[in-house]
Chains A and B, each alone.
Chain A
């Protein structure tokens, strides 16, 4: 139950970020996204 609520909150936060930020200068946003998720490589990424 707590997990579902946490996932629900992540979804809500994602929607709010996309709405508020409305997100060639756009390429910077893509690169920042890639860099932020790229932190996953510290622990290792498992393709799903």
Chain B
């Protein structure tokens, strides 16, 4: 009885979900790293990353929009299926857990000062992804555990940037 109680208190503690989520995300990232070379166009391993998709798409902009009119051409094929899986998985899980609701913009109001922060922050993220050669997911999920020294430096920069942001914008 005490065992059941202790398990219940452990499951309801704030530590449980981050540990479970961290383990799941880390192991799935590892699985993707090992299976991606078999189907990636370069034959080299890819890591789960989001900023990279966008950067690749934009850098291939001429071919993507002007020549072939195919917006996804900059994204390695193996990552297209990963993105599709993430969208599909979210949809299926929302349906199964009966949390699927239709959402729109009608009840939302964008405050003027928020809009400035959104645009400015978004531009800084886009610029930072190109500058640091990857987003926070790539550096923290793959680079740091892979002991890539550049990722340690990038994560240090992210932490410093967040501290400066908190000083300027407030949290």
Contact = CB atoms under 8 A, between A and B. Distances in A.
Interface of A: 3-23, 25-26, 28-41, 45-48
A45 B29 contact: no
A3 B35 contact: yes
Contacts, number: 178
B89 A13 contact: yes
B23 A36 contact: yes
A32 to B, nearest CB: 3
**Which secondary structure dominates where chain B touches chain A?**
helix
A23 B25 contact: yes
A11 B93 contact: no
Contact size class for B?
35 or more
Contact of B141 (A31, A37, A48): A37
B170 interface: no
